[in-house]
Structure 1
């Protein structure tokens, strides 16, 4: 007997190698996948403007990173003692206007380079609902706790979602015609929208993405939404808030992602980096013992081998970590 409907994902092009430069942005689920890739030392930049949920906010980010939109202090909004950017989340807010803009400018300068050099772009769309600043009609990425009456909240139409996502793709292809894109719809439910409105919001995103992937050969869809809702389909695979996926669910979806897109070389690379990452996470109970020193020596030898095999990677933090264990004197 079968007790679940496992998702059968059609064969995908293996596009991720150890050398691939990756850019990822979108909802917090995008951060989950990016964290897995970062842990394995893949070259990835994730959510440089903070977590962004809707297609218009992600479009605005690409417009800034490609230089189509220039940001200045005039774009900042003051509220509750802080200067805020409607393009960014609250991590970029600050008490001093000039310092806030400086942080934004530095981030744009750094991330524009990564964006233009990336081979693969992963976008995760979380919702079709958008808050528009009433003063200008601008679709904000974050309301920064500004009173809700200053915004108009509405759900983007299917046509608006398609238009925004297509403009994202055009912006990327304008700087790299050979770029590959992986689009996903976040499986995280937005309960504050209400269950029915959340379903309509996700359905619009799914339809928009489906339209796009049939139009562009270099754009693919990864079914993270279906894996959680139709394959795992059980509250034991959700976190305590009953909306976000649990660690087990994230790991399961990650394994599917890896199977879909990793080349054999990337699989080998991931296995080696996972061994190193697991060693770093190992809790040393007796740092002065001979066993601990032997463990550190074996890890430093592993790092030496990895340094030879992957000379472009930086292992300084890992070497420092294990040298501290080796030289521990109590």
Structure 2
């Protein structure tokens, strides 16, 4: 007697079929994420990435995970001042790290503490660290002061990367600006915050899938050179581009950028046992959610959206629990017309739009 033939899709779980996503509200979050590795209480976590990643740091801080912060807020500094000067947003004052290329550059500089002459910008007699220009919004009085702060920052990052168990990195953009002679990439275009744009020296760069995969592979390798045990959790920011330098429609440019990042994150996760991908992007942008988690500006994410993402994250790791500590408003939330995302360099590009 012959055995019945098992069709290729016959033994797949419910989560594999679109009809369930369409018809069952609980399916939208249940079983969306199956972790490759478990997170446990008291694991030491670092965060970095684009503006949306600032929310991750807040929720990790308010859990029984340990958010490693090697540049903590000075005790007497007011919260609003601390945020403006880059304290408490991530695990160090590196500011927003929008691209994989930028994060790889940061790791390279950390391994051999370096200050690039091309990354020192000037404005009105003040000097700015071009690799984190928003962290000291008024700049430094002298170049030597800037260099001392930069070297101190990189030495603290050596301590950070050596002690963490998990690195959470949120990919935000593929577009960046590069200093052609050195290959240095910046978090914002020269001239937006400080410095001078020189078309003979500065070029627009839109990273490809191949570029991003290669950069992420190198990031994993670099992190393991600091700590062999480290695990990497990748996410993709659901926040659309404020503006694009491609000359294309911003929606088309956003779709390209996010598609590249999403594809690269999956590919790198598949390549490495110690790398996983968490689908926060899908929870905000997926068609079954009907855009419900965006503010009226159709760009920033609501508090409810951030809470939904983080609730799925915690539910996927039973040993990780939220504490009683208040996490506050989502950093991407609009409030009375004032966008907290103004701490992001990219958001400053809104000022260049024609009224």
TM-score if structure 1 supplies the norm length?
Answer: 0.74
Equivalent residue for 1:64?
A: 109
Equivalent residue for 2:174?
A: 128
Equivalent residue for 2:274?
A: 218
The separation in 2 between residues aligned to 1:254 and 1:224, in whole angstroms, is: 8
Change (3 A) 1:146 1:99: closer
Gaps of 5+ in 1: 282-330
Structure 1 counterpart SS, 2:173: coil
Alignment of 1:199-218 (within 5 A): 199-218=255-274
Higher helix share: 1
Change (3 A) 1:22 1:190: same
Gaps of 5+ in 2: 1-21, 70-89, 245-249, 329-355
Structure 2 counterpart SS, 1:192: coil
Equivalent residue for 1:241?
A: 297
Equivalent residue for 1:254?
A: 310
The separation in 2 between residues aligned to 1:163 and 1:132, in whole angstroms, is: 17
Change (3 A) 1:60 1:211: same
Alpha-carbon shift at residue 184 of structure 1 (Å): 0.8
Equivalent residue for 1:78?
A: 122
Q: Name the larger-Rg structure.
A: 1
Structure 1 counterpart SS, 2:308: helix
Contact 1:72 1:101 in 2 (8 A): no
The separation in 1 between residues aligned to 2:141 and 2:122, in whole angstroms, is: 9
Matched pairs, number: 271
Equivalent residue for 1:153?
A: 204
Equivalent residue for 2:146?
A: 100
Alpha-carbon shift at residue 106 of structure 1 (Å): 2.5
2:36 pairs with 1:9:
no
Equivalent residue for 2:243?
A: 192
Contact 1:161 1:205 in 2 (8 A): yes
The separation in 1 between residues aligned to 2:263 and 2:186, in whole angstroms, is: 23
Equivalent residue for 2:157?
A: 111
Alpha-carbon shift at residue 246 of structure 1 (Å): 0.7
Deviations 1:266-312 (A, max 9, x none): 32xx3xx31xx24x98xxxxxxxxxxxxxxxxxxxxxxxxxxxxxxx
Structure 1 counterpart SS, 2:257: helix
Alpha-carbon shift at residue 72 of structure 1 (Å): 6.2
2:216 pairs with 1:165:
yes
Equivalent residue for 1:52?
A: 97
